[in-house]
Amino acid sequence: MLLPDGFPGQRIRVLPRPLVTSALRRTPTSALLVTDAGYFPRAANHGRRRPGGAPEAIVIVCVDGMGRCQVEGRTTVVAPGQALVLPPGRAHTYLADPRRPWTIWWLHAAGTQVPELLGLIAPDGREALVALQDTYRAVATIDDAIGFLERDETFPNLISAAGTGWALLAQLAADVVAGGAQRTEPVRQAQAYLRHNFAKPLSVAELARTAGLSPSHFSALFRAATGGGVVEYTKRLRMARARELLITSSRDIGDIAAAVGYSDAFYFSRQFRTVHGCSPSDYRTAHREGQGG
């Protein structure tokens, strides 16, 4: 027999359906509303069968043990560090592994923005299994949602919980867009290196060698994970530091150019203009004229 809840140490909050209906008619919870959230530790015999699906999107984050989900004849195994995402209105069955029952944090979300986020997580409209880049952050986000709903069901707490629901779906969408851990780890390491060494001469080939990849493979992974190339990413880092120096110091433009990795101040100024639409001097002047309370 499958148990929907009732596990020692569990936490669970389910909004009354009339309140859900009312909240989905109000701004901003009409955009996204957390309707249910919970935590089930070592949930032996846990499971749900929904022949008509659920009216909300469901996210289940597994942190221990295992479970599986069946949708339209497809079986998905859910392991620690993964999030199962089920779209609304799709028949499904999920259950804990009988030998290693899962420990899960879960959340239901409804609203007009949910389909847009689900479109990034599962473009085919099916269920999705997301390899989490940061399981702790996903758990903390759901924990926050539960906490807001545990306080009370007043509108301010519904709004706060809605923010956590949006953050969770956005995290999942970002993880899907970036790719799996094996794909993104070399890129994350390269980004960390560039953040600390952006002023040094740039070599894509050297970054690729450090990651143990060919330059073409590394460049493709970097572009897929960040939306741009290594050169563009480095330029943005340099420009961020240049803005800081222009605002917080009186150093001349040539000194600032050298400090962020440009030996030619004129080239630096041209690069700065392509990003900001103005020269470094004009940027400094505009910021200083706009200072003050």
Are residues 225 and 184 in contact, defined by beta-carbon separation less than 8 angstroms? Answer: yes
pLDDT beneath 50, residues of the chain: 292-293
Are residues 165 and 32 in contact, defined by beta-carbon separation less than 8 angstroms? Answer: yes
Q: Residue 292: its pLDDT value, please?
A: 46
Pairing of strands 57-64, 82-86: antiparallel
Per-residue pLDDT tens digits for 13-47: 999 999 999 999 999 999 999 999 999 999 999 99
Are residues 237 and 194 in contact, defined by beta-carbon separation less than 8 angstroms? Answer: yes
Cα distance between residue 264 and residue 32, in whole Å: 49
Q: Residue 29: its pLDDT value, please?
A: 98
**Residue 96 phi, psi (nearest 5):** -75, 150
Cα(first)–Cα(last) distance of the chain, in Å? 65
Same fold, 11-178 and 182-289: no
Q: Residue 78: its pLDDT value, please?
A: 97
Report the predicted TM-score, pTM, of the whole model to 2 decimal places.
Answer: 0.72
Cα distance between residue 133 and residue 153, in whole Å: 31
Are residues 229 and 183 in contact, defined by beta-carbon separation less than 8 angstroms? Answer: no
CATH of 182-289, one of 1.20.1440.230, 3.40.30.10, 2.40.40.20, 1.10.10.60: 1.10.10.60
Which CATH architecture describes the domain 11-178? Answer: Sandwich (2.60)
* Residue in 120, 131, 118, 237 with CA at minimum distance from that of residue 184: 131
Q: Residue 184: its pLDDT value, please?
A: 65
Cα–Cα distances (Å) from 161 to 71, 107, 114, 143, 290, in that order, read 28, 10, 14, 10, 36
Per-residue pLDDT tens digits for 240-276: 999 999 999 999 999 999 999 999 999 999 999 999 9
Which strand (E) or helix (H) includes residue 60?
strand 57-64
Domains of the chain by residue range? 11-178, 182-289
Which strand (E) or helix (H) includes residue 34?
strand 33-40
The two tokens of residue 43 are 């949930």
Per the listing, tokens 């952006």 go with 198
Tell me, what DSSP letter sits at residue 76?
Answer: E
Q: Residue 226: its pLDDT value, please?
A: 84
